[in-house]
Chains A and B, each alone.
Chain A
Amino acid sequence: MRRLAILLALVAASAASAADGPAPARRAELLHLVRQDCGSCHGLTLKGGLGPSLEPAALAEKDAEQMSFVILRGRRGTPMPPWGAFLSEPEARWIVEQLRKGLPE
Chain B
Amino acid sequence: MRPLAIAALALGIAACAAPSPRGTGDLGLVVERASGSIMLIETTGRSALGHIGGLGDLSHAAAVFSRDGRYAYVFGRDGGLTKVDLLGAKIEKRVIQAGNSIGGAISQDGRIVAVANYTPGGIRLFDARTLEPLAEVLTGAKVVGIADAPGNRFVFSLFEAGEIWIVDASQPRSPAVTKIKGIGKQPYDGFITPNGRHYIAGLFGEDGLALVDLWNPEAGARRVLSGYGRGEEPLPVYKMPHLRGWAVAGRYIFLPAIGRHEVLVLDSVTWTEAGRVAVHGQPVFAVAQPGGQRVWVNFAFPNNGVVQVIDVPAMKVVRELQPGRTVLHLEFTPRGEQAWISSRDDGAVVVYDTASYAELARLPAASPSGIFLTSRGAMTGF
Q: Which residues of A contact B (CB under 8 A)?
A: 36-37, 39-41, 43-45, 47-50, 74, 77, 79, 81-82, 86
Contact = CB atoms under 8 A, between A and B. Distances in A.
B57 A45 contact: yes
A7 B323 CA distance: 44
Interface string B66-89: 000000000001100000000000
A81 B237 contact: yes
A44 B100 contact: no
B326 A49 contact: no
Contacts of A39: 59
B239 A40 contact: yes
A50 B188 contact: yes
B277 to A, nearest CB: 23
Given A37-B239, A40-B239, A44-B77, A49 B60 contact: yes
Contacts of B239: 37, 40-41
Contact of B60 (A37, A40, A77): A40
Contacts of A82: 236
A74 to B, nearest CB: 7
A89 B238 CA distance: 19
B236 A49 contact: no
Nearest to B205: A77
Nearest to B77: A43
A47 B100 CA distance: 8
Contacts of A40: 59-60, 239-240
Closest 9 pairs between A and B when the two form their complex, measured CB to CB: A44-B59, A81-B236, A40-B239, A37-B301, A43-B77, A81-B238, A45-B57, A39-B59, A43-B59
Contacts of A79: 186, 188, 204, 237, 240
A44 B100 CA distance: 12
Contacts of B159: 50
Contacts of B60: 40, 43-44, 49
Contacts of B186: 79
B124 interface: no
A54 to B, nearest CB: 13
A49 B237 contact: no
A21 B58 CA distance: 31
Contacts of A81: 236-238
Nearest to B328: A40
Given A45-B59, A47-B100, A48-B100, A36 B240 contact: no
Interface in B183-225: 186, 188, 204-205
Contacts of B33: 44
A86 B78 CA distance: 29
Contact of B77 (A36, A49, A77, A86): A49
A67 to B, nearest CB: 18
A40 B300 CA distance: 10
A43 B78 CA distance: 9
A43 B58 CA distance: 9
Contacts of A37: 238-239, 301
B119 A48 contact: yes
A49 B116 CA distance: 12
Interface string B235-252: 011111000000000000
Contacts of A47: 78, 100
